[in-house]
């Protein structure tokens, strides 16, 4: 992260406000104003005293740059950052490293610092948009999953009801078939009885007819 005056990364106690840190000879007033715009000073209260802390104005040397790279590699190993894929730890460390490089570039050239700040803002805005999209997609997916689960439950319930209804209808159909078979058997027996009676009557009539047709003897 960009270096602030003091030994601790958290706000250490420095000179109380409104005492300001003067611009040093190696940086112009414009660079310092842009630097404070990019990295606003930290302010806090302690024992009813207000303190302010500015970002470090020290210029960067080759040794500082080499130490920054070594520190970045060391922190990546210490915090077990992933080498590939999405990794919040790796992103946070690279963000802090970029902020330190932005501080160093701004001290030498305010215009480059402002341009890098635009790039940093654009990257952060894009990442924030992707986070929002991810959250909304997760919420949408969760809603669809719950809806699908509810639909599955409703369909299972409907299937159960239809199966029960089908079983009841099948039972009624079997009862009607049994009744129909019983009626058909009864009708068949009655038809056979009536047919036998009819045959007997026909035979009687035939015999009577034969007897009537015989000639009489006197």
Taking only the tens place, the pLDDT of each residue in 150-160 is: 999 999 999 99
- The answer to whether residues 29 and 23 touch, using CB atoms and an 8 Å cutoff, is yes
Under DSSP, the state recorded for 217 is: -
Helix and strand counts by DSSP (H, E) for the chain: 4, 2
pLDDT band at residue 165 under the 50/70/90 scheme: very high
Please give the pLDDT value at position 216: 56
Q: Where on the phi/psi map is residue 47: left (φ > 0), alpha (ψ -120 to 50), or beta?
A: left
User: Which is higher by pLDDT, 5 or 101?
Assistant: 101
Please give the pLDDT value at position 26: 41
**Contact partners, residue 180, CB within 8 Å, separation at least 6:** none
> 64: helix, coil or strand?
helix
Taking only the tens place, the pLDDT of each residue in 59-109 is: 888 888 888 889 989 999 998 888 888 888 998 999 999 998 898 888 888
Domain ranges (residues) in the chain: 29-108
* Average pLDDT rounded to a whole number, residues 43-47: 85
Q: How many residues are recorded in the chain? A: 218
Question: Rg (Cα) of the chain, in Å, rounded?
Answer: 50
- The answer to whether residues 95 and 14 touch, using CB atoms and an 8 Å cutoff, is no
Provide the CA 209 distance to its chain's centre, in angstroms: 100
Closest of 135, 102, 142 to residue 120, by C-alpha: 102
Please give the pLDDT value at position 217: 55
For the chain, what is the mean pLDDT?
81
> 4: helix, coil or strand?
strand
Sign of the Cα torsion 65, 70, 76, 79 reads negative
- pLDDT at 32 exceeding the cut of 70: yes
Taking only the tens place, the pLDDT of each residue in 126-140 is: 989 998 998 899 888
Tokens coding 81: 């950052």
Closest of 27, 60, 24, 56 to residue 39, by C-alpha: 56
> 40: helix, coil or strand?
coil
- pLDDT at 167 exceeding the cut of 90: yes
- pLDDT at 10 exceeding the cut of 70: no
User: Would you give the end-to-end CA distance of the chain in angstroms?
Assistant: 153
- pLDDT at 214 exceeding the cut of 80: no
């Amino acid at each position: 992260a960009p270096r602030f005056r003091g030994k601790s990364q958290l706000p250490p106690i420095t000179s109380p406000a409104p005492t300001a840190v003067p611009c040093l000879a190696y940086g112009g007033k414009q660079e310092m104003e842009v630097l404070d715009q990019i990295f606003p000073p930290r302010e806090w209260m302690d024992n009813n005293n207000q303190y302010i802390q500015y970002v470090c104005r020290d210029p960067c040397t080759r040794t500082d740059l080499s130490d920054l790279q070594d520190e970045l590699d060391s922190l990546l190993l210490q915090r077990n950052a992933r080498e590939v894929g999405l990794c919040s730890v790796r992103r946070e460390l690279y963000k802090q490293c970029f902020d330190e490089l932005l501080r160093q570039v701004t001290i030498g050239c305010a215009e480059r610092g402002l341009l890098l700040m635009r790039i940093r803002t654009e990257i952060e805005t894009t990442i924030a948009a992707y986070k929002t999209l991810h959250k909304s997609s997760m919420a949408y997916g969760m809603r669809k999953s719950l809806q699908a689960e509810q639909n599955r439950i409703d369909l299972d319930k409907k299937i159960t009801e239809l199966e029960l209804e089908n079983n009841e209808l099948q039972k009624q159909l079997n009862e009607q078939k049994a009744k129909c078979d019983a009626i058909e058997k009864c009708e068949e027996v009655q038809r056979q009885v009536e047919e036998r009676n009819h045959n007997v009557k026909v035979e009687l009539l035939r015999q009577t007819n034969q007897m009537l047709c015989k000639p009489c003897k006197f």
